[in-house]
Structure 1
Amino acid sequence: MHDLAPQLFALLFAAAFLAGFIDSIAGGGGMITIPAMLIAGIPPLETLGTNKLQSLFGSGSASLAYARHGHVSLREQLPMAAMSALGAALGAILATVVPGHVLKTVLPFLLVAIALYFAVKPSLGDADKAQRMTPFLFSLTLVPAIGFYDGVFGPGTGSFFMLAFIALAGFGVLKATAHTKFLNFGSNLGAFVVFVLYGAVLWKVGLLMGAGQFAGAQVGSRFAMKNGAKIIKPLLVVTCIALAIRLLADPAHPLRVWLGW
């Protein structure tokens, strides 16, 4: 892995920049970085571990950008981020006993459902709505559950956090985006620690891609803050559908195997 050709390092940096830009707005950056690393010849386990390292830079960069502009208080959200990290760490540890084929089968349809929710609900905007769940209950249930999913599998984590914040916490679209990034940072950190203990992180590749993620997230978060719901909503819809299509395009997807496609 230390002998990757320069053009492959350039490809990985560019992929990380684009992923950081998209992830800071709508999530789904993993559908860019993971295939890029696999194409570069990095083994699957090291790809997952290294992806968590470089994702830390993107989610951390976006979190700082949103916090600097007053869209989220990182100090107040720290307990919630810690719950997300705990859930992700448990997910990464228990990944071998969780039925991954079930997640792979169901996930594309969940992503399409999220896309439809944001596409057809005209009232979604940047203004906050009434809460349907207390912050305490939200922190103890949904946050670690989504973090656990990120540790086990990962794709679409940001979309699930966004949906939870908007539908249950009553947040506006921009505020939900800002709060999602720090929880994503927590889940990335929790899973990353586990992958480090398993020796599944390529530091040189991860730090290079992390620089791309950091820069892309800075650009993307500023773009989101400038345009708000009018850009976040359509990009979230497109990202969810694109991720669902990419998952279903895999010949090894359980549904395709079952149907014989």
Structure 2
Amino acid sequence: MELLFVSLASLLAGFVDAIVGGGGLILVPALFATYPGASAATLLGTNKSASVWGTAFSATQYARRVELRWRALLPAMALTLIGSFLGAWLVTLISTAFLRKLLPLVLLAVLLYTLARKDLGRAHAPRYAGRAEAVVAGSIGLLIGFYDGLFGPGTGSFFIFLMVRLLGYDFLHASAHAKLLNVCSNVAAIVLFGLRGHVWWHVALVLALANVAGSLLGTRLALKHGAGFVRGVFIVVVVALILKTGRDAFWP
């Protein structure tokens, strides 16, 4: 029954994550509630090891249907991987308590900006090309990859928001590009968790299958309904992240 419960949570997480990110908002609490005696590192490592497959599957589906800007994306993927490793290394040296209180405020600013700009992310009109686009995309990858390794919550939402705001992508194209960057940041974390023995591989395998199934449904809905649908889900997920991270920070 425990495995069935977390598998259903992984299915729902894959569905949400495929559209706009934020699947960890569902699966991580489910793992902590189901296995209260396990170490936090083991549950986080198991979550990453399962969800990365759904994210990777979603990324391949987007790549078949959405035009990806590979000249900007490939350097950004490499820099995301580097940033994630640096963040994961730094978290072993410093406290991230200040980020716990800062995060809901940053997310609130993202939400208010998105609501105020009703046309934000509805039209796909890239602002840069060539080297300039690669520099901006790479900067986003390095920054958010570093954040993911250091702390993590809301990574997918930050990738999407910055691509919409800085690169001029619509929400659908931003989500497609963000999936590939998210895979890179997750791989870095999985390597570190795996080397330290903080992954339940037998559980992660079952959760990965459920996550991929949810990812398939979420990706199809996003591709069918387009940028407006993704924007709506983005707003819902950011609101949920604000409530969750705000409660964790100020009412633990």
User: TM-score, normalized by length of structure 1?
Assistant: 0.89
Change (3 A) 1:135 1:74: closer
Residue equivalent to 2:82: 86
Contact 1:85 1:191 in 2 (8 A): no
After superposition, residues 216-227 of structure 1 pair within 5 angstroms as 216-227=214-225
Residue equivalent to 1:4: none
**1:120 matched to 2:147:** no
State the Cα distance separating 1:142 from its structure 2 match.
2.2
User: Cα RMSD (Å) of the superposition?
Assistant: 1.9
After superposition, residues 74-223 of structure 1 pair within 5 angstroms as 77-124=73-120, 125-131=122-128, 134-223=132-221
Among 227, 231, 245, the alignment partner of 1:247 is 245
Q: For residue 35 of structure 1, what is the amino acid of its counterpart?
A: P
Post-superposition Cα deviations, 1:187-207, rounded to whole Å, max 9, x if no partner, equal 001111111111111101111
State the Cα distance separating 1:184 from its structure 2 match.
0.4
Change (3 A) 1:140 1:233: closer
**1:54 matched to 2:43:** no
**1:10 matched to 2:4:** yes
State the Cα distance separating 1:51 from its structure 2 match.
1.4
Q: For residue 39 of structure 1, what is the amino acid of its counterpart?
A: A
Residue equivalent to 2:20: 26
Change (3 A) 1:76 1:68: farther
Q: Which has the higher helix share?
A: 2
Q: Percent identity?
A: 36
Gaps in structure 1 of 5+ consecutive residues: 1-6
**1:44 matched to 2:40:** yes
Post-superposition Cα deviations, 1:130-165, rounded to whole Å, max 9, x if no partner, equal 349922322442211100111111110011111111
Quote the Cα distance in structure 2 between the aligned partners of 1:105 and 1:221.
32
Post-superposition Cα deviations, 1:204-252, rounded to whole Å, max 9, x if no partner, equal 11111111111111110110011112211111111111111112223xx
Quote the Cα distance in structure 1 between the aligned partners of 2:51 and 2:89.
19
Structure 1 runs, 4 residues or longer, greater than 3 Å off = 73-76
User: TM-score, normalized by length of structure 2?
Assistant: 0.92
State the Cα distance separating 1:129 from its structure 2 match.
4.4
Gaps in structure 2 of 5+ consecutive residues: none
Contact 1:98 1:152 in 2 (8 A): no
Contact 1:50 1:205 in 2 (8 A): yes
Quote the Cα distance in structure 2 between the aligned partners of 1:12 and 1:155.
19
